[in-house]
């Protein structure tokens, strides 16, 4: 009996040690976040073991775990019709909200899910619930794109998928089929989906053949650049769940089918050191000492290496491509972008990407709403239902939908 108690106590202690990580007191629901992070870390470790044994690629294994526990069929309710179909060969899930009696045509949002370009799905519960809520509360048609993921495809194929599906949807006959007002269509996405939405917005802005333009873009904690992994938010939140800096850098390397040997060098900005000529012209476009307010920069110092590794950008030139890093786009590209909403979270390595993009857009004359949540963490907006319901998740979702309601 005594040995059983000792064993149980040891197991509880080990579990607590595994789950506990130091978190700022200001983060929303800290113990719940620790449990969520521990669950995700466990899934990552299982997928890494599967990869090590040669059974599957670790990202395929991890996404199988995520989708297996969260996949939801296209189930319609009395208020929202949900259907799975494809737009020009790209799978989509369409959510048709109830029409307003006084408005025969509905507004619409094309939504792109997050997941590091490699994980999640438009068909998992988190995104199904988000898009259902958007369709119902906005009386709108929501098109959630099931773009192809790493490692089955790499950059820029994810962009090609979202561009192809969105262009198909914007055809007059397709908009008529779904009773959508061609002048009230927006693009949106979270995390890597926010990256793809921003890239799509910039591409559509330059497409003179596109008759129906986007009315708004709404970017939720978007990832927007891979040149500086030592912005104040990267330094402040380097070990913060659920997206530590090391994991974000690995997502970038995976996106480009690059070499993991470069990860540690990229973390200290060796890929954009002063001796890397390819990066020199782009540094001013994400100079956070001028783009971020002093309340954000605090006492953090830029990390700029004098000598680095020029081989990294030579082997992975996509790092400096504005299609992958919308924050470094030319000023002329930004000037005519639609009204923009950017949601950022304090406890997120990507916080400063969003804030800097808002500043650059404002400087280009774009109307921008920057919605910052002091207790928010990366990914929080999709966590709104039990057992992963966070107070900041509900508040961010409500704020996001409210902005869409007022501006779309």
- 247, 239, 196: which is closest to 47 by C-alpha? 247
- Residue 189, preceding peptide bond in cis (omega within 30° of 0): no
Q: Is 163 helix (H, G, I), strand (E, B) or coil?
A: helix
Contacts of 391 (CB under 8 A, 6+ apart): 28, 29, 375
Q: Is 142 helix (H, G, I), strand (E, B) or coil?
A: strand
Please, are residues 341 and 403 in contact by the beta-carbon 8 Å criterion? yes
DSSP 171: S
Q: Half-sphere exposure of residue 340, counting CA atoms within 13 Å on the CB side?
A: 31
* Distance in angstroms (rounded) separating the CA atoms of residues 224 and 198: 8
Contacts of 308 (CB under 8 A, 6+ apart): 265, 269, 270, 271, 272, 273, 274, 275, 276
As separate numbers, helices (DSSP H) first and strands (DSSP E) second, the chain gives 17, 8
* Distance in angstroms (rounded) separating the CA atoms of residues 407 and 109: 12
Q: Taking the CB of residue 361, how many other CB atoms lie within 10 A of it? A: 22
The burial of 399, by beta-carbon neighbours within 10 Å (0-12 exposed, 13-18 middle, 19 or more buried), is given as middle
Backbone angles phi, psi at 108, to 5 degrees: -150, 150
Backbone angles phi, psi at 378, to 5 degrees: -60, 130
What amino acid positions are annotated as catalytic residues?
191, 348, 378
- Residue 125, preceding peptide bond in cis (omega within 30° of 0): no
Please, are residues 273 and 306 in contact by the beta-carbon 8 Å criterion? yes
- 57, 66, 59: which is closest to 39 by C-alpha? 66
Strands (E), 215-288: 216-220
Backbone angles phi, psi at 182, to 5 degrees: -65, -20
């Amino acid at each position: 009996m005594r040995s059983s108690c000792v064993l149980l106590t040891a197991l509880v202690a080990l579990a607590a040690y595994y789950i506990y990580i130091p978190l700022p007191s200001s983060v929303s629901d800290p113990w719940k976040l620790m449990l969520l992070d521990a669950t995700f870390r466990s899934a990552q470790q299982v997928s890494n073991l599967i990869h090590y044994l040669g059974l599957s690629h670790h990202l395929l294994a991890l996404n199988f775990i995520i989708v297996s526990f969260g996949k939801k069929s296209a189930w319609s309710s009395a208020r929202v019709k949900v259907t799975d179909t494809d737009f020009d060969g790209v799978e989509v899930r369409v959510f048709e909200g109830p029409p307003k009696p006084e408005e025969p045509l509905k507004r619409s949002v094309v939504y792109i899910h997050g997941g590091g370009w490699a994980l999640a799905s438009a068909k998992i519960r988190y995104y199904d619930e988000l898009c259902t809520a958007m369709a119902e509360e906005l009386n709108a048609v929501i098109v959630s794109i099931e773009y192809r993921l790493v490692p089955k495809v790499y950059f820029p194929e994810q962009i090609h998928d979202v561009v192809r599906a969105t262009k198909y949807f914007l055809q007059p006959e397709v908009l008529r089929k779904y009773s959508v007002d061609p002048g009230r269509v927006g693009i949106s996405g979270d995390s890597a989906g926010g990256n793809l939405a921003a890239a799509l917005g910039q591409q559509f802005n330059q497409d003179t053949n596109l008759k129906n333009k986007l009315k708004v873009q709404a970017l939720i904690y978007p990832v927007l650049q891979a040149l500086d992994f030592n912005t104040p938010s990267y330094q402040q939140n380097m070990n913060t769940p659920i997206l530590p800096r090391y994991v974000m850098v690995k997502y970038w390397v995976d996106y480009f089918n690059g070499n993991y040997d470069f990860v540690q060098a990229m973390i200290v900005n060796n890929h954009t050191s002063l001796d890397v000529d390819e990066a020199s012209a782009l540094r001013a476009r994400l100079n956070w000492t001028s783009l971020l307010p002093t309340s954000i920069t605090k006492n953090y110092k830029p990390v700029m290496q004098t000598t680095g590794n020029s081989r990294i950008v030579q082997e992975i030139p996509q790092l400096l491509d504005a299609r992958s890093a919308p924050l470094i786009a030319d000023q002329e590209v930004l000037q005519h972008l639609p009204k923009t909403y950017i949601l950022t979270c304090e406890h997120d390595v990507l916080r400063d990407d969003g804030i800097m993009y808002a500043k650059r857009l404002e400087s280009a004359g774009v109307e921008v709403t920057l919605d910052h949540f002091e207790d928010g963490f990366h990914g929080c907006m999709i966590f709104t239902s039990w057992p992963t319901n966070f107070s900041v998740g509900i508040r961010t979702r409500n704020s996001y939908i409210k902005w869409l309601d007022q501006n779309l």
